[in-house]
Structure 1
Amino acid sequence: MKKKIVITGMGAVTPIGSGVDEYWNNLIAGACGIDRIRQFDADDLAVQIAAEVHSFDLQRYMPKKMIHETDAFTQYAYVAAAEALAMAGVSDRVAGPDLPADPDRMGIVMGTAMAGVATTAATQEILTNAVHKNVGPRFVPRILGNIAAAQIAIAHGITGHSVTLSTACASGGDAVSAAAMLLQADEADAVLAVGAESILCPLVIYSLANAHTLSRVNDDPQHSCRPFDAERSGFVIGEGGGALVLETEENALARGATIYAELAGWANNNDAYHVIKPNPDGISSIKCMKKALKQAGLSPQGIDYINAHGTGTKLGDGAELNALGQLFGGKSESGQSSETQEVLEGSTGGAAGIPAEPRTSADPGISAAQGTQVAPGQKPPADQGGAAGIRPAISSTKGATGHMMGAGGITESIACIQAIREGIVPPTLNLEQCDSQLDLVCGESRRMPVDTAMTNAFGFGGQNSSLIFRRYSGGKSNDK
């Protein structure tokens, strides 16, 4: 029997704020964390902009010795995990935040695309230029991807499953999927899913710039990342960390935990098309989203909001718009192949079939009232009584945070959970020209009812990840 999986804790370290509340409030206010690079002198580089983390004092969270011995991606993971565990903690214990399960039944799944690549590059540069060749003994553990999970486990006494995976930009989303699979297999009662990344260094910038994937709008950083916009020119590197505590409903209710949302569906697959380029028809990403919908027992009409991958690249955003248009809008944004049509006409395996027509306000459960737009810097007004006329509402939050790679799949999941809790959909910054017929939320946040939200992540190597969150019902959630 399939177990219901719920979210009981969240943590975030992002370029627009550290802590879930600061991250979310700045996200819906239209804040942008992209600026000129400060971590090193980038004046001689073709790309001089990024979304860096500046907003927190690391020494509040980690001892100096650990800071010195760890890469930034581990530090971001560590801080996000601590917040998520504290949020999920049992309130009647005095000795600090408790684990939500027995240590042997508590797992960690860590997702990161490039782990300690920045440390590797910096160390090699020092070694090449040094008179006395020497590398410190902590170099290897500092760059390993699994060390983030190890540091978290040591700090919190987590002795259950510990898994680290790397599926490029889908790593964070896949970490959540893997956590859910551990829970479904009864290998754990609670799992901490973490994603973190910090790849900023000249080596990576040179490579991605030469691959023509990065925005070069150095003179206007705030408008450099333009997801889905006709003038988009590439993505902007971001950094940070995110964490979610997932539990079986039974475990969460037994300990009286606050439940913030349900993880209703998850999926992963591969394009098998190209190492860097996405399939322009979006066939595999459609299949991935359909798998998640099937698992959630939903049809496409059942999704209220999609936090899209939307990085700002010409090819990637085009392929994603095609996939979303075919699955949720009833047509391709630029025509569709016969193979794609076969995918659309297939059954979702128990859920309602894929519709051939766009969803409109005449569909069941949809109000004709347009969701209220919220200007940047303002709080959303009272609910005006309806969602957008065409479902689902879609936005990309990378114009605010940059592309956080392995961290993004989890911080964007948090955006979905918060959209469900607050009834507010964050905007797509810098989206001014787009001929898509999809309901893209641009410029300003929108207040609308959100009961279900999907987040997608697509990565190099043809990696696709899709997650669906749903408003929790059943049992006592204790959430507001």
Structure 2
Amino acid sequence: MRIAVTGYGALTALGDGVEELWSGLLEGRSGARLLDEAGGEWAELPVRIAAPVTADPEAALGRPRARRLDRSQQLALIAGGEAWRDAGSPQADPERLAVVVGTGIGGVGTLLEQDDVLKQRGPRRVSPRTVPMLMANGASAQLSIEYGARAGTYTTAAACASGAEAIAMAARLIREDDADIVIAGGVEAAITPLTLAGFAQAQALAKPDGPPEGLSRPFDADRRGFVLGEGAGFVIMEREDRAAARGARVRARLDGWGVTADAYHITGTEPGGAGQVRAMRKALAKAGLAAADIDHVNAHATGTAVGDRAEADAVFEVFGDRVPVTAPKGSLGHLVGAAGAVEAIIAIRSLETGLVPATRNLRELDPEIRLDVVASEPRREPVRAVLSNSFGFGGQNVSLVLRGS
């Protein structure tokens, strides 16, 4: 059974919608900026640079509705809505429509805000909406209510691999005949003082050494860590025969996926990237493809010294140095639970256009990285099959194989 992607939607620091995302990548724009230049709650942080969504959720959802939702739920509804419309707003049997949403942490903004209310104003001032706004499955539940999805509502929490794992789970639901259509993707809205402080203390965030837009440098010899971003990305997945029957445009096919675990360290990668290699090879095998059939790799590449090198070694072991590689986090920052879904959409746009976006801020490739990383400007290639990687804390590895329609 073939699985079609018939719609996509995204909300990122590059703008509102997939076209803003794509044009921003091709133009080499950056979403990174200094948070609250006047100081405020960010003033004492060692790192005050992130890549937040600039769109106004209240404008899209209306103020009364937006105030009942955590920011992560707002972003999910907006990006999910774009994907649904892009798919032609399919008339779906509710019993055959499912939702899968990946997130690293869920409604952390609500949790921290209401904890402040509790401490400063007392328990009777805590919002009665606190729990449904902070719970990790809040975004998937809101989407299921919005579209009447009754075949199942699932939430994957695999750190930075959550969005990609959601897409893999959606494919399984369709292959196992549990659903005909799945709204799948990822969301994260975790740019808070606490998360920034925690990542900074773990030495994961890039320490400022110049303008914010130049700080995220995947694969660069002078990379310093990642820039935290936020956003959402969603795709509409359905049985290809059903999509054909309703005359839907097929943007791409998801032909393979591989999910593995390192079972090695809570943050570190298994030596040699063995788990990543297994994920890529599982995805290729499921797609019925050889490594030579892949025309482009979308790398997870966050800009950390150890992580980028481990992934580069793993990609080299599977593909050698012949395949063009790109790393969108140079422009977007690291969207954590949304990263894999947004980057799957970027991979689909490469399939549709034959363009591989350049990796922003790659000035000097680390000499230990033996890959053909696209830099300076987009590259035109015959792109028929793309492999997209997402790797997360806890040793979570997900690879997706997407092919042109």
When normalised by structure 1's length, the TM-score is 0.81
Matches within 5 A, 1:384-403: 390=322, 392-403=323-334
Q: Structure 1 unaligned segments of length 5 or more: list them.
A: 90-96, 330-357, 359-389, 473-480
**TM superposition shift of 1:66:** 2.0
1:220 maps to which of 177, 198, 211: 211
- 1:464 corresponds in structure 2 to 397
List structure 1 segments (4+ residues) > 6 angstroms apart after TM superposition: none
Distance 1:167 1:112 in 2: 7
Contact 1:280 1:318 in 2 (8 A): no
Distance 2:123 2:210 in 1: 40
**How many residues align structurally?**
401
In 2: Cα distance, 1:113 partner to 1:408 partner: 10
Q: Which moved more, 1:272-281 or 1:130-139?
A: 130-139
Aligned to 1:16: 14
- Residue 231 of structure 2 aligns with which residue? 240
Q: Mark the CA change 1:455 to 1:132 in structure 2 (over 3 Å): closer, same or farther.
A: closer
The structure where helix makes up a greater share of residues is: 2
Contact 2:100–2:169 (8 Å) recurs in 1: yes
1:424 is aligned, of 343, 355, 371, to 355
Structure 1 residue 447 corresponds to structure 2 residue 376? no
RMSD (Å) for aligned C-alpha atoms = 1.5
Moved more, 30-39 or 111-120: 30-39
Gaps of 5+ in 2: none
Cα distance in 2 for partners of 1:47, 1:453 equals 34
Q: Give me the whole-angstrom Cα distance separating, in 1, the residues matched to 2:175 and 2:215.
A: 42
Relative distance call for 1:132 and 1:297 in structure 2 (3 A) is closer
- How far has the Cα of 1:151 moved from its partner? 1.4
Counterpart among 144, 147, 154 of residue 156 in structure 1: 147
Q: Shift of the alpha carbon at 1:133?
A: 5.8
User: CA contact under 8 A between 2:312 and 2:370: conserved in structure 1?
Assistant: no
Q: What per-residue deviation string (whole Å, max 9, x for no partner) do you get for residues 11-44 of structure 1?
A: 0000001111111111111110001114964221
Report the 3-state secondary structure (helix = DSSP H, G, I; strand = E; otherwise coil) of the residue aligned with 2:235: strand
| In 2: Cα distance, 1:431 partner to 1:214 partner | 17
* Cα distance in 2, alignment partners of residues 35 and 67 from structure 1: 24
Is the aligned partner of 1:298 residue 2:297? Answer: no
Rounded Cα–Cα distance in structure 1 between residues aligned with 2:370 and 2:303: 18
Counterpart of 1:23, as a letter, is L
Report the alpha carbon displacement of residue 465 of structure 1 after superposing the two structures with TM: 0.5
Which secondary structure state, in structure 2, belongs to the residue aligned with residue 282 of structure 1?
helix
Match of 2:278 in 1: 287
Which residue in 2 is equivalent to 1:34?
Answer: 32
Deviation string, structure 1 residues 237-267 (Cα, Å, up to 9, x no partner)? 0000010000111110011100011101111
| 2:151–2:179 Cα contact (<8 Å) kept | yes
Of all paired residues, the percent bearing the same amino acid is 40
CA contact (8 A) 2:117 2:125 kept: no
State the match for 1:47 in structure 2. Answer: 47
- How far off its partner does 1:324 sit? 1.0
Of the two, which has the highest radius of gyration?
1
Q: Give me the whole-angstrom Cα distance separating, in 2, the residues matched to 1:437 and 1:268.
A: 24
Task: Please say if 1:178 is aligned against 2:169.
Answer: yes
1:126 CA displacement:
3.1
SS in 1 for 2:260: strand
Measured in 1, the distance between the counterparts of 2:60 and 2:42 equals 29
Does the CA contact (< 8 Å) of 1:280 and 1:322 recur in 2? no
Contact map agreement 1:426 1:441 (CA 8 A) in 2: yes
Structure 2 Cα separation of the partners of residues 65 and 225 of structure 1: 36
* TM value normalised by structure 2: 0.96
> What SS class does the counterpart of residue 28 from structure 2 fall into?
coil
